[in-house]
Structure 1
Amino acid sequence: MSEPILWTAEEVQRVTGGTWLELNPQGRKYRRCTFPTKYLDSDCVVIHVHGPGWPDKCIDGSHQRGMTSDDLIRRIQNYSNTMVITSQRPTMPTGTPVLLVRSTYDALFALAVYQRSRYEGRIIGITGTAGKSSTRDFLAALLDIKVPTFASFGNWNAIEGNALSLANLPPKGELAVIEISAGAIDGLRRRNSLELVRHHDAIITSIGVNLTSKTPTAKYVAEIKSMLFSALPDDGCAYFSSAVQEIETLIASAGSHKRRIVGRPGESSISVEIVGEELGKTHLRISFLDYTADVSTNIIGSGQLSNLALALQCAADLGADPRKLVEKVSEITLQKRKMEVKNYTLSDKSVHLLNDCHNATLVSFSSALNYLDRLSRGFRNQIFVIGKIVHIEGWEKHVYETLSHDLKRCNPKTVILFADGLDPLEHELKSLNMNVLRATDAKEALKLIRRNITDQTLIFLKGSHRGTEMRELGDSLQKHLRKRSVEYASANA
């Protein structure tokens, strides 16, 4: 493993105040601390998600719901040199070191605070209504050109996820990129990520309506997220786009700190210009103060390209070589289901799938649909499978009315609505004389898609996966199209 050693057993015991129940592992060292079992590995400290403090989202996301300490110990038996931190005394004998603490939730934060206190590098905090994870991944990849860069895990951007990231900071590391949710900035469960992370620079990717029960307007969203700027140290820099909503709120929060408004002449040192687009590919001209180059990239859509520009500006400011940055842009790819393009040939039909169902906000919908609007004339048939936008309670009519007009502009032949709660969107689309179908489950949606496929068809999937089968539909559709494509290729070999 390439990561630096992070923890000794003695440090874990001292920081958490725990008591050894099995095998005091004197002198043992560990490379990772985790509570999501997804990140289990050898040389790992595993925190048992048990007892008070843990929110349901963490329990479910950790895949430890209902696990006893015995269950967890059995779960990690196949990994070498592991340790379990638990507040529940095991009943089975074990060869795994077990550290008993009063609260595993408090232990997580104790480990985070300790590790952050000895971290010697610079931290870039990232937030926004959409694009947080992508920008984090872009920036980490770009900064890796200069020095190995730590990045936070997956979508763990709430307060517990921030603690998990901090607990894994390599003490001698130089750069780290941490994704932070609005709730973690505002404060959750008597803790606040601004105090926990103590970032040096900050990026806000976008501002839009989301979580309306807590942040009912874009301005209120901006006021919460821009706290990331107001908490900067004296030498910190605030990064945001010239096209961001509520820009004056962000400027005010940045105050006297250095700021980079990417896309505004005189306030940034780079520009990213689209010189050509095709499905799944963007041709860019990237300019720095003393270097300009053209490059092709798999990053597509105005939102993701704005995220890339923010990451490029930050990486350049932190000393990465512009020529190497441009080279890296050609290699970066988006995560699965984020503007992911697949092309298939089925008998006499050419079919293209754009899967963007990783998540959905009105901001990310607008970005994807703006992209499709520019490319739509290249396809004879477009099938849009649209799911719901979550966390817009009370704003459904406004949000879906805006979305319906964005959809109309792309002029799809068929719109399949795939989720409950989409009656307001159906009403708006039908008032615009659009062809609307409904599907209650993935099987029915797949049947409707297959029925409407013709040659030169573009299928677009977009909607939140939370509480829906949108991801399952995307996986089933890709499996079906891949199978048909392979069968056709074999028949014509």
Structure 2
Amino acid sequence: MKKIKLTLNDFFNLPDAEIFNPDKFKDILSVSIDSRKIGKNCLFIAIKGERFDGHDFIKEVVKKKVSAVMINKNQLKRFSDLEIPIISVKDTTKSLGDVASVWRDKLNAKVIGITGSAGKTTTKEIIAAILSVRYRVHKTTGNNNNHIGVPLTLLNAKAKHQVLVVEQGTNHFGEIKYTALISRPDLALITNIGYSHIEFLKDRNGVLKEKSELLKIAVKNGGVAFINNDDDLLKKFGRKLKSKITFGFNDFSDYKAKLLDVDKSGRTTILISYGKKKFQARLPISGEQNAKNFLAAFAIAKELGLTDKQVLKGLKRIKSVSKRLEIKKFKDTVIINDSYNANPDSMKASLSLLSKIKPSYKKIAVLGDMFELGKHSKKLHSEIGWFINELKLNEVYTVGKFSENIFKSLNGRVPVKKHFSEKKNLIDSLRKSDLKKSVVLIKGSRGMKMEEIYSALEEKLK
């Protein structure tokens, strides 16, 4: 199979690009912004970040036999003695996206773009696992879902790949449009519209305005949008789109699902009706939210031609994503490690799972702040407390400035509750607690580093 390559002509066509030493140019087979990862026929793009400036590593990559470098124009004098091809541009971060866009044009693969307020990473993993039964799949790794990560995801795809599953995140207006114009998805999915990042996106309508760019760009380029009919804003927005596939639990949809049961570990049995057919399966991951994530993945898998048998085979490849509703069992204690991030919608989904798993066990919620909620923070944290009051949890512990509003909203239905201003004090208290026959949920925003609490409990329970 032929390799994807970037030619000299590709770079001459880049906006603002000026090429020095073009006579020494060799076709580019790989692109890197990391000086530690220089492959064969590699272009190194010097990105200036918050902590490091890639221009400071140019001499290092030259020693590693890099084929060419891309630098900002204002750095030209600094590297005038280089004898390898230099591609000078106004802004290397912007040009990284331009290069990725050219690379995307050379790929012979279906691109699936995914965004949403909650569940996008897990849904990406489910889609990739199922599709891998039939296709050679490349997917976003880690949290590479921003203006740097999306281009890198595309640039790491090879000619052999048949499907790309690209996660696209945002917390400011314009970010989804920027990355979607680079990825140009053939299939686009928004998992839901919630209250994430509303400090910058104002409200749910602002979230919809930002994230819907993914659907609009996909449809404009001849692709198809996947619409969650259970989300009021997405359902309404979907009516405007000509090319769409709908899915949901509550309304008539192209893919209509219902939950048949939930076992003691929180795993669901789902029944999906589509056309005149039905599909039923016990899901290997816990929580009703993951059933919703699976439904979206199922719709995409079917539209890409997978049989029910292939989907069932793919189910066996699905694994919990680290720190996202990750269930860990220790003798007679269960921990739900959902410490990666939190927003009001995902918080409620995780608390619901806590209330349903292991019915005879004590239920303990350990909750940290939810960030980027702006002026809505107090109200949305308080609503979590009111939500907990209806769940019959045994113990609730909160930590952080904002989560005190969760604590203050708890009533007498929660027998044991305490707020901590310092995480260290909370950890010390939990180390002394009796966690036998208990299910413990740990959840908070990324900046709270709630995984430190999980590590302390893991050490205690080993």
Provide the TM-score with structure 1 as the length reference. 0.79
Residue 452 in structure 1 maps to residue 433 in structure 2? yes
Where does residue 262 of structure 2 map in the other structure?
276
Residue 475 in structure 1 maps to residue 455 in structure 2? yes
Quote the Cα distance in structure 2 between the aligned partners of 1:4 and 1:470.
46
Quote the Cα distance in structure 2 between the aligned partners of 1:86 and 1:475.
42
Where does residue 398 of structure 1 map in the other structure?
379
Matches within 5 A, 1:208-227: 208-227=194-213
Residue 378 in structure 1 maps to residue 343 in structure 2? no
1:389 Cα shift? Answer: 0.9
Quote the Cα distance in structure 2 between the aligned partners of 1:234 and 1:378.
53
Quote the Cα distance in structure 2 between the aligned partners of 1:327 and 1:290.
22
Quote the Cα distance in structure 1 between the aligned partners of 2:19 and 2:100.
19
Structure 2 residue corresponding to 1:49, chosen from 35, 47, 50: 47
1:474 Cα shift? Answer: 2.5
Letter in 2 for 1:472: E
Asked whether the equivalents of residues 188 and 226 of structure 2 are also in contact (C-alpha less than 8 Å), the reply is: yes
Where does residue 236 of structure 2 map in the other structure?
249
Structure 2 residue corresponding to 1:358, chosen from 336, 340, 346: 340
Listed as ranges, the gaps of 5+ residues in structure 2 are none
Q: Secondary structure at the match of 1:450?
A: helix
Residues 305/99 of structure 1: CA separation in 2 closer, same or farther (3 Å cut): farther
Where does residue 26 of structure 2 map in the other structure?
26
Quote the Cα distance in structure 2 between the aligned partners of 1:319 and 1:157.
27
Matches within 5 A, 1:97-176: 99-102=86-89, 103-170=91-158, 173-176=161-164
Listed as ranges, the gaps of 5+ residues in structure 1 are 51-58, 486-493
Quote the Cα distance in structure 1 between the aligned partners of 2:313 and 2:375.
46
1:216-246, Cα deviation, whole Å (9 max, x unpaired): 3323323433343333138533223332242
Structure 1 residue corresponding to 2:71, chosen from 83, 86, 93: 86
Asked whether the equivalents of residues 70 and 91 of structure 1 are also in contact (C-alpha less than 8 Å), the reply is: no
1:372-399, Cα deviation, whole Å (9 max, x unpaired): 22226220x2321101111111112321
Residue 180 in structure 1 maps to residue 183 in structure 2? no
Letter in 1 for 2:220: P
Asked whether the equivalents of residues 4 and 106 of structure 2 are also in contact (C-alpha less than 8 Å), the reply is: no
1:368 Cα shift? Answer: 1.2
Matches within 5 A, 1:184-203: 186-188=173-175, 192-203=178-189
1:332 Cα shift? Answer: 0.2
Residues 172/448 of structure 1: CA separation in 2 closer, same or farther (3 Å cut): same
Identity %: 18
Asked whether the equivalents of residues 113 and 167 of structure 2 are also in contact (C-alpha less than 8 Å), the reply is: yes
Letter in 1 for 2:231: V
Q: Secondary structure at the match of 1:337?
A: coil
Where does residue 489 of structure 1 map in the other structure?
none
Quote the Cα distance in structure 1 between the aligned partners of 2:179 and 2:280.
39
1:4-24, Cα deviation, whole Å (9 max, x unpaired): 743357477546646568995
Residues 107/458 of structure 1: CA separation in 2 closer, same or farther (3 Å cut): same
Quote the Cα distance in structure 2 between the aligned partners of 1:85 and 1:146.
37
Letter in 2 for 1:403: I
More moved, 106-115 vs 96-105 = 96-105
Quote the Cα distance in structure 2 between the aligned partners of 1:7 and 1:221.
37
Quote the Cα distance in structure 2 between the aligned partners of 1:159 and 1:9.
24
More moved, 433-442 vs 124-133 = 433-442
Letter in 2 for 1:237: V
Q: Secondary structure at the match of 2:220?
A: coil
Quote the Cα distance in structure 1 between the aligned partners of 2:126 and 2:33.
25
Letter in 1 for 2:151: A
1:369 Cα shift? Answer: 1.6
Count how many residue pairs are aligned between Structure 1 and Structure 2: 455
1:126 Cα shift? Answer: 1.6
Letter in 1 for 2:399: F
1:14-61, Cα deviation, whole Å (9 max, x unpaired): 46646568995635x534x34367x946445443222xxxxxxxx35x
Where does residue 292 of structure 2 map in the other structure?
306
Where does residue 392 of structure 2 map in the other structure?
411
Residues 5/18 of structure 1: CA separation in 2 closer, same or farther (3 Å cut): farther
Asked whether the equivalents of residues 86 and 98 of structure 1 are also in contact (C-alpha less than 8 Å), the reply is: no
Letter in 1 for 2:338: D
Residues 406/86 of structure 1: CA separation in 2 closer, same or farther (3 Å cut): same
Quote the Cα distance in structure 2 between the aligned partners of 1:448 and 1:22.
65
Residues 469/269 of structure 1: CA separation in 2 closer, same or farther (3 Å cut): closer
Quote the Cα distance in structure 2 between the aligned partners of 1:414 and 1:93.
65
Quote the Cα distance in structure 2 between the aligned partners of 1:314 and 1:409.
35
Asked whether the equivalents of residues 115 and 166 of structure 1 are also in contact (C-alpha less than 8 Å), the reply is: yes
Residue 262 in structure 1 maps to residue 248 in structure 2? yes
